[in-house]
Chains A and B, each alone.
Chain A
Amino acid sequence: MSKKAAARLVVQALQHKYGDRPVIEGLTFTLDAGQAIALVGPNGAGKTTVLKCIVGSADPAAGKILLDGLPIDERAEVVRRDVATLLDDLDFFPDLTAAEHLDLLARAHGNPAPEDLVDTTLDDIGLLSAADQLPGSLSSGQRRRLALATALVRPRKLMVLDEPEARLDTGGVAWLSNRLIEEKKSGTSILFASHDPALVEAVADSVVTLTPLP
């Protein structure tokens, strides 16, 4: 009973279909506070789809997804406050700099003076020199780092990350690994999809392997 109360995210018998074809069938797992689960599997196995179902970008055909015991609904304010996501849905305002984007996000989450937080995060993620650049002038790697930074300038109980190591160099992946371990220590739960065995090995407490359905 006490273990159930601590579960931050519960996924029960999740099913998702594209048309009539199921891509996820009966997926069940529980993610506790301060733990990390890695979703692994080949392309087309449904890793991103699972993450999309959890953040409300895709509608499951069946099953339950509970956050802190309540059905997860992206429209609920509490979900938007507690769940930090890094999926393939990031875009930028062309006329705001990298620093201003993070500033905006922190303010929107209730931090009225986020300058220090933004500077620290930009430094942490190696983007301090690009703080004043507009998104159009950022490289794809810098954009990816900025995307990662969005999860770090806001409150979070659960991080949902889709291939966070994508487009990062070796040093970047090592930094990411350490960073996620620190996040876990602070009580944040992490659910991430990855193709990097080293990152999975270092961060994940358990691994869910998905296989493409016939």
Chain B
Amino acid sequence: MSSAEGPVVFDPADFGAIPSSRSLRQWMRTTRRRHADRSFWQVFEDVYLVVFTLAMVGATGGNVVRQLNTSASQCSSFSCHELAAYLPWILVPLLVATTLRVLLSVGPVSASRAAGFWLLATPVNRTALLRPAYWLVMVSVAVTGAVTSFVAWALLGSQWQSIWEGSLLTAALLVCAACVTVWAQQTSLRIKWTLRVADLLLVAAAIPAVWLATRNGPSNNNTQLANVVISDADAQALLTSGTSRLLVVGLICLVVVLVLAVLTARTLSRLSRTTVIAGGELLAGLAGAASSLDISMLADVVSGRHWRTKGRAHSRRGRGSRGAAMVHRELVRILRWPRRLVIGFALLVVPYAVAGAGFDVLVPVAAGFAGFVAVRPLMDGLRSVCRSIGLARALGMDLRELRVIMAVVPGLFAALWSLLAFPAIGSGVATFAIAAGMLSGAVRQASARPPSYAGPLVASPMGAIPPGLFSQPIRGFDLLLVCLAPVLLGLSAMWVLLIPAFVLTVMFSVRPKTA
């Protein structure tokens, strides 16, 4: 580190006008193109593959939705009628609350750490730098909202026009919610209040769900719904009064959304670099986890972000020694984030709602998956020791032993949850199978090894991948289904008890593989 002529010290006057964001991006594009190691045709092939896949999935999905819409529109039972009447009141607040929470957790306007340092920390117009990310968020929210509500309304057997109107209105509502999150991102106080509103919306969504779960209506009333199946006949009339109304609704939504989005875009300069980068870091972590199809790692990223944000917690003394001390520590750790317990217990509404809607055959599956979602977040401790050989070694216990110890508190939660769901499930042995399934599935997913690229790899169109990569997303759910299988297949009570008991025994007897 030396300079023969001595250091050159610069003066601000040596620097001219600040360049535009556009010219800077252009410079980066040109520079990057020089390092490009893939030809245009290689990129084209990848894009073609993605577009083709999306088209195939879209066509198949569209066809399935169309078929289900046909079936649902022919359902004349009281349960179907009730479900159609109440589901929008659950779905819309749930979608808005989810949009608020998800967007605020990633920004919503975000940038990578590198962009934060090399671009956002410079005097270049911040609004212009952030505008592409902002519009990407808005478009993504609009598309996601429209598709989700389109599918939901179609599955309820609604008319073609109702589906389109519902989708348009929901998409517009969600874009407005996205604008609110951008406004909230500007100060921590606004974020806090917006999250409270999201929580209130969740409560609002729970009210009709609870009502649906607890009401005592006739189970097979032949009330004919006034639904019309999506059919070609609907599309034949070009400008009926319904179509005109749809156009007007669409136009109004478009105007409102555009005005709000443009006004919000003007406030992007008020976003601090810290909040923008925080979201970018989270997204980078999530993208890394998603690329390895590792659901547990996705949960790790979100959980890690939560604890980093919290930063500080009141230390509590442990109790007992060895296993007892670890069980106590797990309890303390779980109680430290009570929201997860609240959400876990709130998920009890799912089996009751399904039972209340009259779909008795689906209750075990709904209860199993809801229970899995409820219990899995309580497994962070197990997750940490299974991912860190050093931590397991430091604790001085065998990993198998640790897995049993760390599953005690979640196991008790699973047992309590299942007992509370028992009235909806209606069978003691099925309740046991569901509890065993949700516990063994969650333990299996939490103690999964990350995919290793250090070992043998398998050639694929996406390049070399570790064997078992594609089984990652179903890890955990597979055991849940094995435990639920005897219930779903209507096997005798003995099998309904034996198979889940066997799964649990094997799960806790085998030593987990380390990374």
Contact = CB atoms under 8 A, between A and B. Distances in A.
A105 B12 contact: no
A171 B3 CA distance: 13
Nearest to A79: B123
Counting contact residues on chain B (CB < 8 A from A), the size range is: 35 or more
B2 A109 contact: no
Given A19-B312, A80-B122, A104-B27, 10 more contacts: A75-B269, A81-B123, A89-B117, A96-B28, A103-B31, A104-B118, A110-B17, A150-B117, A175-B2, A186-B9
A108 B124 contact: yes
A109 B271 contact: no
21 contacts: A21-B312, A57-B274, A58-B274, A75-B269, A89-B117, A91-B116, A93-B28, A93-B114, A95-B35, A96-B31, A96-B35, A103-B31, A104-B119, A108-B123, A109-B18, A112-B16, A125-B1, A175-B1, A178-B7, A179-B7, A188-B9
B273 A74 contact: yes
A85 B8 contact: no
Contacts of A78: 123
Contacts of B12: 81-82, 155-157
A155 B15 contact: yes
Nearest to A94: B114
Task: In the A-B complex, list the 9 residue pairs whose CB atoms are closest, starting with the nearest.
Answer: A175-B1, A91-B113, A155-B12, A108-B122, A186-B9, A110-B15, A126-B1, A19-B312, A81-B123
B19 A18 contact: no
B271 A75 contact: yes
Nearest to A183: B9
Contacts of B126: 75
Interface string B90-121: 00000000000000000000001111111101
A196 interface: no
B8 A120 contact: yes
Contacts of B121: 80, 85
Contacts, number: 141
Nearest to B121: A80
Nearest to A148: B1
Interface string A98-121: 001101110111111000010011
A58 to B, nearest CB: 8
A204 to B, nearest CB: 19
Interface residues of A, number: 61
Contacts of B232: none
Interface string B268-294: 011111100100000000000000000
Given A95-B32, A96-B32, A110-B16, A89 B27 contact: no
A196 B121 CA distance: 28
Contacts of B17: 110
Interface in B1-60: 1-3, 6-12, 14-19, 24, 27-28, 31-32, 35
Interface string A167-178: 010011001101
B188 interface: yes
B461 interface: no
Given A18-B311, A21-B312, A95-B35, A182 B9 contact: yes
B27 A80 contact: no
A202 interface: no
A18 B309 CA distance: 10
Given A81-B123, A91-B112, A109-B18, A56 B1 contact: no
Nearest to A152: B10
Contacts of A62: none
B286 to A, nearest CB: 17
A178 B312 CA distance: 40
A50 to B, nearest CB: 16
A56 B114 contact: no
Contacts of B2: 124, 126, 171, 175
B269 A107 contact: no
B278 to A, nearest CB: 10
Interface string B382-424: 0000000000000000000000000000000000000000000
Nearest to B311: A18
A175 B4 CA distance: 12
Interface string A59-101: 1000000000000001101101110010001111101100011
Contacts of B8: 117, 120-121, 124
A18 B312 contact: yes
Contacts of B124: 108
A101 B121 CA distance: 13
A56 to B, nearest CB: 6
A185 interface: yes
- Max chain B C-beta neighbours (<10 A), residue from A134, A157, A178: A178
Contacts of B122: 80-81, 105, 108-109, 154
Contacts of A74: 272-274
Contact of B117 (A91, A125, A176): A91
A123 interface: yes
A171 B1 CA distance: 7
B18 A110 contact: yes
Given A91-B113, A91-B117, A100-B31, A155 B1 contact: no
A100 B278 CA distance: 25
A145 interface: yes
B273 A107 contact: no
Contacts of B115: 93
A34 B447 CA distance: 57
B11 to A, nearest CB: 7
A176 B28 CA distance: 30
B174 to A, nearest CB: 28
Contact of A110 (B123, B271, B274): B123
B31 A111 contact: no
B18 A104 contact: no
Interface in B413-439: none
B16 A56 contact: no
Nearest to A90: B117
Contacts of B16: 110-112
B6 A182 contact: yes
A109 to B, nearest CB: 5
A74 B117 CA distance: 12
A116 B14 CA distance: 13
Nearest to B31: A100
Interface in B155-209: 188
Contacts of A134: 35
